[in-house]
Structures are given as C-alpha cells and as structure tokens.
Chain A
Amino acid sequence: MSAVIDDHAQGHEHAHGPAKGLMRWVLTTNHKDIGTMYLWFSFIMFLLGGSFAMVIRAELFQPGLQIVEPAFFNQMTTMHGLIMVFGAVMPAFVGLANWMIPLMIGAPDMALPRMNNFSFWLLPAAFLLLVSTLFSPGGGPNFGWTFYAPLSTTYAPASVTFFIFAIHLMGISSIMGAINVIATILNLRAPGMTLMKMPLFVWTWLITAFLLIAVMPVLAGVVTMMLMDIHFGTSFFSAAGGGDPVLFQHVFWFFGHPEVYIMILPAFGAVSSIIPAFSRKPLFGYTSMVYATGAIAFLSFIVWAHHMFVVGIPVVGELFFMYATMLIAVPTGVKVFNWVSTMWEGSLTFETPMLFAIAFVILFTIGGFSGLMLAIAPADFQYHDTYFVVAHFHYVLVPGAIFGIFASAYYWLPKWTGHMYDETLGKLHFWLSFIGMNMAFFPMHFVGLAGMPRRIPDYNLQFADFNMVSSIGAFMFGATQIFFLFIVIKCIRGGAPAPAKPWDGAEGLEWSIPSPAPYHTFQTPPEVK
C-alpha cells in the first residue's frame, strides 16, 4: 500500500509529460502544444488559401474565360484574401508567440492557459464556417476580402451571414490571444528581464497585441452593423434609409490599416533576432527599434483614408492622409537601416533563416516603396484598384510577413523538434520561393501601371505575356510550399541532433534550455543579468 502512495507522490513531483492520444491536443493548456497547433493550422490554411490563388492564376494564365465562372472567380479572390490574412498569417504569428514568448522572457507558460486553448479551438470552427459557404446555394463571399457595402449587404449572397459569424469568431479568438500575450509579457517576465531587455520579437508582439485589442472590436462592430443592415432593417450603410456606404469604408479601414501592421510587426521582431544571430553582432539600435515600432503602431491609426482617396474626400483630407502615410516611411526606414547596420562588418553566414531574413529586408523595402507611390494622393487616382495595388500588398505580405514566418520557422525548428533541418533542402526552398515569388508579383507592377484592374477574371490582350509569367511564378511558389511541408516533416522525424544553441551567434533565453524544448520549461524563473 505504502509503495503505491509513494509512487503517487512521486508522480506529482515529476513534471507532467504530455497526455496521450487525441485528448492531449483538445484539452491541452501547454503553450508549446498550442503553439504547435496554431502553426499547423496556419500552414493548412496557407495551403488552402494558396490553392485558391492557384485557381486565380490558372484563370489569368491567358486572356479570356477558360476555367472558372466569373462568379466563382470572385469567390476565389475573396476567400484567398480572407484565409491568408485571418487564417494563415495571423495564426502563424500567434503560434510563434505561444511557442517563443514564454521561452524568451523566462515564463513557465502563457498567463491564461485555458483561454489560450479556447482561442485556438475557435479558429477551426470559424474557418469551417467560412469555407462551408463555398458549398452553399448562391456561393460563398464574392465581394473581395475588404467586403465593401453595399456589395456585402444589399448585393451579397445569402451566405454572408455565415461569413459575418466567422469573422466574429476569428475576432474573439484574436482578442483573447492578444490579451493573453499582453498579460504574459507584463506579468510573467523572469526577474531582471526589464522591458528594455526583452527581445524585439516580444516587444513587437506586445505592440501588435495592443493593436489587435484596439481594432479587432471595430471589425466586429462593422460586421455587426452589416448583420443589422441585412437582417434587422437598420440603414448604417444604406443610403435609402439615411446611411452611407462610404461610412463602411471609413470604419473598415480604421480596422484595416492597423491590421496591416498586425501582420508585419511580429515579422519585424523575428527578423531583428535572426539578423544579429547570423551577423554575430548585437542588433544595431535596439532602443530606436522599440520606439520605431511604437511610432508605426501609432501612425497606423491616422492613415486609414489613404485606402479611399477616390471616394471624394476634401483636398485637405487627402493632403493630411497623404503626408501622415508618408511619415510612416520614417520609422520604417529606421528599422531597415538598423538591420543593414547590424549586418555591416558582421561575420555573416547564410543559413536558411538568414537568407529569408535578408530577402525580407530587401523585398519588404520594395513593397514599402510601392506603398509610398500609392500614398501620393494624385497618383493614387491612377493606381487605385489596379494590379499595382495587388503587387504592392503582395510584396509586403509574401516576402514580408510570410518570409518572416519562414525565417522564424527555420530559426527555431531545431529548438522545437530537437533536430537540425536539412540545410541543402532549406536553401533550395528559399531560392525556389524567392524566384517564384518575384516572378509572380513583379510583373504585376507593370500590368497595374498599364491599367489592368484587380479582381477581374479576364483582361486585355496587351497584358497577356506578363500575366503568363505571373502565373508560372505563382505555380512555382505554390508547389515549393509543399516542399516546405516535406522539409518540416523530415526535420520532425529525424536529422542531426540539435544542440541547445544551434546558432553560434544567437542570443536569448530560449537557447539556454535543451533542444527539443522540454514539455515544461522555466518552472523556476531564470536569473537575467
């Protein structure tokens, strides 16, 4: 008897391992498990949203209508945008935050572990609801990811209500995730980990989380107004009842512009860890990086109308939003120069994470410059709703957000799996992605400037060659991501064992624990000097 009791007591002293079976994943409150689920979920969504992009590029391979009906094409552009923004990029960063923030600040777990579980499991429900609309009579959302009223109210398919509820669920999930991140960072830092000692990934996520709390409720508000307009006879966006469709655009972009920074700031943070690691130098201008992030976050709230220069805002308004937008180039420039200065005279090596990080700096800057062009109000009248806009935001999102995620994944994979990934395959993944991505999106600048409109399944013959190049590049980029899946699975199943700190220039608490990271870490807070 006593032996049994002893065993029991010992079992409690031991760290709990993960539970067995499926319920481990359903019920888990462990930040590493939840982070893993977030990352897998976002990758599945990345492939799904990517397959929609393949449909779009297949249709645009040649002028004329070949493969899909225009109505279905519209659903593809809409779903591609919604799934990539809310299903792929945002959950990937929440997954990285879950995995890495507790490890970086020396916390045993996230501050609110049960809420963490709930905020993840809302996502599969939300996206099942969203994707199911494709099979409903009348089809899924077809009004573009920006769902402007009255396209999304008066003229929307019946499934728009499902879309609204899906957005509500995603919003609740993001807000809970953001509250969790803030609570973790503000309350669970190890002794000695002052705010200005935090890794930049933690800093950028702290600011991102505040952006999320500030704007996701506004998104919830705008879809609620749509719901009321559609079902309860209100007229927020209906001119017939005294409302105004332009109001929709103001409220949407009040959410939408900070949302763009929600998708890029965590990538800034990750790259600010990776570039110093492979330059074997500390980050240049840490403090200015923190303040620049804060400045970008603040400015993101006062530039929203640059998305709507053509709706007829007064000239004074156009000038204000134009200059405010251009001002964002200043803190962003500070960041880019800091990254370059970090590499300056460093002992650089070009492992896969570094390749993705350097491509991030160069290509994101190209996206930033086309953004500056779009910010010029008089020029925007020409660029508005053309492929130039598509080129711009794909340059900030694909080599920006997504290359940031790839860089992070390769950088921390040894810590997650305990194995080194295959460096040759990783580099191949990088070069195929780099070439495919530039082939897909660079020609869009030209067709856009020449006047090809976005979200149209057919186009003028003069755009044919560039569109074919775009499509070939897109197919290449898409296929390459299946290859990434293979690399990750190969790394999980085996490979050279990873030491606790596989990158000799890397800094941070996450490298002080063994690889793979034990199920429970920092139950005794580390001492930070």
Chain B
Amino acid sequence: MNGLSLKRLVLRLLMLTVVMFAFGFALVPIYDVMCKAFGINGKTGGQYEGSQVSDPTRSVRVQFMSTNASDMVWDFYSTADQLEVNPGAVNQMIFIAHNPTDRPMSAQAIPSITPAEAAAYFHKTECFCFTQQVLQPGERIEMPVRFIVDRDLPASVKHLTLAYTLFDITARHPPVAHVAAEDVQGAR
C-alpha cells in the first residue's frame, strides 16, 4: 500500500544504521575540529610559525603547573612558578624531568590552558609536548617551552595558567623498541 517495498525499506533502515555507526566515529574528528576552532577545552594548537611585535604597555601573568598522571613516577616541575609577559613577545620557561627509576621510560606531556577562552591566543613556538620524551635510568633533562601570548588576547584576561600533565606511555611506546627502530632507519 506504500511507495517502498519491504525489502527496500529495510535496506534503507540498515543503511541508516551503518551511517549512524560511522557518525559515532566521525564525532571524534568533529570534536577535535570544534575544540580547535572555538578554542574550547583549553586545547592549544600545534607549533606556531608566525611572529608578533611586543606590546610593552600590557602585561599578563602566566602561571605554570606540572602534574603527574597517576602511576607516573618522574619528577616533573617548572623552574619558576610564573612569568609576567608582554603580549607579542617571545618568552621561555624551562621544565625539568627526571627519571628516578632503573629502567628507560617514555612520557608524553599534554598541555591545557585556563581560562579556556584564552587557549586560542596562546601560541607555542617550541614545546616539549610536540614530541615524546625518552629518559634513560636516572637521566634528567631540561625541556624548554617558548611561547607568545597573542596581542589580541581579550582584555578581560589578565592572568592565565599553562598546565602540563605528564603521562607514562612506556607500555604503548617502549623506549628500547623506539631506539631500535631509529637504528634500523639509520642503517638504511
């Protein structure tokens, strides 16, 4: 009595099911794009290539936090708690990481900016969070982050926090295998 035969109707409904299953996975990149586009969730962008002129008339306080994710045993801290910076100027802060264990480990730092609306105005020209860190037993490294606070930072923001969480990714990226892979590449 209706336009569609049973077979075609069921086929369409099954297709809709498949499309919605795919849509569930599509939400992952959509979420990332939205977070980047609107600077929400405090997610910062990748490496910043541009440069800006310093604005000496304005000063913003940037605080640094370093947190270990659960089960992470490294010592991880910044060399200073905060900096007064001028928007547009390039600034640097050194973070220290130390592997106190007797085995090589790899780690990944994930940055986050508070307030989240400032994330789009915080540019990193160099950051240890762009790569993974591999530390041999007892090894200590200095890890620089160089950043520019954008001149267009909303005037209401006088103070922002850059927080790093350090995750142990040894299980996922074994440091030994990592070195071996590099060796193989080198041999080629």
List residues of A whose CB falls within 8 A of some B CB: 111-112, 175, 178-179, 182-183, 186-187, 189, 191, 213-222, 225, 233, 236, 239-242, 244, 246-247, 250-251, 254-255, 312-314, 317
Contact partners of A233 in chain B: CB under 8 A? 172
**Which residues from B are CB-within-8-Å of A214?**
16, 20
B108 & A183 in contact (Cβ 8 Å cutoff): no
Q: Is the CB of A247 within 8 A of B17?
A: no
Q: Which of B49-57, B87-95, B134-142, B163-171 participates in binding chain A?
A: B163-171
| CB <8 Å contact, A247 and B14 | no
Question: Are B17 and A217 touching (Cβ within 8 A)?
Answer: yes
Docked Cα-Cα span, A483 to B51, in Å, equals 76
Stretch of B24-32, B96-104, B150-158, B176-184 with 4 or more beta carbons under 8 angstroms from chain A: B24-32
B6 within 8 A of A: yes
Answer whether A246 and B41 are a contact pair too, CB < 8 Å, given A182-B13, A187-B9, A239-B165.
Answer: yes
A-B residue pairs in contact (CB < 8 Å), sample of 30: A112-B10, A175-B17, A182-B13, A187-B2, A187-B9, A213-B17, A214-B16, A216-B17, A217-B20, A217-B23, A217-B24, A218-B27, A220-B21, A220-B24, A221-B21, A239-B110, A240-B110, A240-B168, A241-B172, A242-B108, A242-B110, A244-B41, A244-B43, A247-B27, A250-B27, A251-B28, A312-B42, A312-B116, A314-B117, A317-B40
Known A186-B9, A241-B108, A314-B38; contact A251-B20, beta-carbon cutoff 8 A: no
Whether the Cβ atoms of B69 and A240 lie closer than 8 Å is: yes
A130 and B167 alpha carbons, distance in the complex (Å): 32
User: Using Cβ atoms and an 8 Å threshold, which residues of chain B touch A215?
Assistant: 20
Residues on the B chain within 8 Å of A313, using CB: 40
Q: Does B4 contact A (CB under 8 A)?
A: yes
Asked whether any CB of chain A lies closer than 8 Å to the CB of B18, the reply is yes
Q: Which of A217, A225, A239, A313 is the most central at the interface, judged by chain B CB atoms within 10 Å of its CB?
A: A217
Indicate if the CB atoms of A183 and B165 lie closer than 8 Å: no
| List of A residues within 8 angstroms of B4 by Cβ | 186-187
The docked-state distance in angstroms from the alpha carbon of A516 to that of B4 is 34
**B187 interfacial by beta-carbon distance below 8 Å:** no
B40's contact among A111, A217, A220, A314, by CB below 8 Å, is which? A314
Residue of B nearest to A223 (CB): B24
Distance to closest chain B CB from A151 (angstroms): 12
CA gap between A317 and B165 in the complex, in Å: 26
Give the dominant DSSP class at A's interface.
Answer: helix
Say whether, besides A183-B10, A187-B2, A236 and B28 are in contact (CB < 8 Å).
yes
Q: Are B13 and A213 in contact (CB under 8 A)?
A: yes
B31 and A244: CB pair below 8 A? yes
Whole-angstrom CA separation of A112 from B117 in the bound complex: 52
Q: How far is the CB of A315 from chain B (nearest CB, A)?
A: 9
A218-B24 in contact given A179-B13, A182-B13, A244-B41 (Cβ < 8 Å)? yes
Give 6 nearest A-B pairs by CB, closest first: A221-B24, A240-B167, A217-B21, A217-B20, A218-B24, A179-B13
- Shortest beta-carbon distance, B8 to chain A, in Å? 10
With contacts A217-B21, A244-B41 taken as known, whether A251 is within 8 angstroms of B27 at the C-beta atoms is yes
- Nearest residue in A to B6 (C-beta to C-beta)? A187
Cβ–Cβ < 8 Å partners of A251 in chain B: 24, 27-28
Q: Which residues of A contact B9 (CB under 8 A)?
A: 182-183, 186-187
A317 CA to B39 CA, complexed, in Å: 12
Contacts of A242 in B (CB 8 A): 108, 110
Q: Tell me the complex Cα distance, A317–B4, Å.
A: 40
Cα distance, A318 to B115, chains bound together (Å) = 16
- Complex alpha-carbon distance, A254 and B26, angstroms: 13
How many whole Å from A254's CB to the nearest CB in chain B?
7
| Bound form: Cα–Cα A182–B43 in Å | 43
A239 to B42, CA, bound (A): 13
CA distance A313 to B172 in the complex (A): 30
Complexed CA–CA distance, A215 and B169 (Å): 33
* Cα A242 to Cα B108 with chains together (Å): 9
Give the residue of B6, B18, B35 whose beta carbon is less than 8 angstroms from that of A217.
B18
Taking CB as reference atom, which chain A residue is nearest B169? A240
| Contact between chains at B24 and A222 (CB < 8 Å) | yes
Contacts of A314 in B (CB 8 A): 38, 40, 116-117
Among candidates A221, A222, A247, residue contacting B31 with C-beta atoms closer than 8 Å? A247
Once the chains are docked, how many angstroms separate the CA of A187 from the CA of B2? Answer: 6
CA–CA, A88 to B43, complex, Å?
A: 41
Question: Looking across the interface, which residue of chain B has its beta carbon closest to that of A239?
Answer: B110
| Beta-carbon contact of A179 and B10 below 8 Å | yes
Inter-chain contacts of B172 with A (CB < 8 A): 233, 240-241
- Write the chain B residue with the least CB distance to A172: B17
Question: Which residue on chain A has the smallest CB distance to residue B18?
Answer: A217
**Hey, which chain A residues are within 8 Å of B24, CB to CB?**
217-222, 225, 251, 254-255
* Closest CB in chain A relative to B72 CB, distance in Å: 9
Give chain A nearest CB distance to B24 CB in angstroms: 3
Choose from B20, B38, B117, B167 the contact partner of A213 (Cβ within 8 Å): B20
Q: How far is the CA of A313 from the CA of B110 in the complex (A)?
A: 19
Contacts of A213 in B (CB 8 A): 13, 16-17, 20
Within the assembled complex, what's the spacing in Å between the Cα atoms of A220 and B17?
10
Residue of B18, B41, B117 ringed by the most chain A CB atoms within 10 A? B41
With contacts A191-B1, A241-B108, A313-B40 known, what are 17 further pairs, Cβ within 8 A?
Answer: A111-B6, A179-B17, A186-B9, A187-B6, A213-B17, A221-B21, A225-B25, A239-B165, A240-B69, A240-B108, A246-B41, A250-B31, A251-B24, A251-B27, A312-B40, A312-B42, A314-B116
A187 to B16, CA, bound (A): 18
CA A179 – CA B16 in complex, angstroms? Answer: 10
Return A522 CB to nearest CB of chain B, in Å.
14
What's the Cα separation between A175 and B165 when bound, in Å?
40
Q: Tell me the smallest distance from the CB of A233 to a CB of chain B, in Å.
A: 6
| Distance of A240 Cα from B105 Cα, bound (Å) | 14
Other-chain residue from B18, B20, B41, B69 in contact with A312 (beta carbon distance below 8 A): B41
Of all chain A residues, the one with the shortest Cβ separation from B114 is A312
Q: Compute how far the CA of A220 lies from the CA of B23 in the bound complex, rounded to whole angstroms.
A: 11
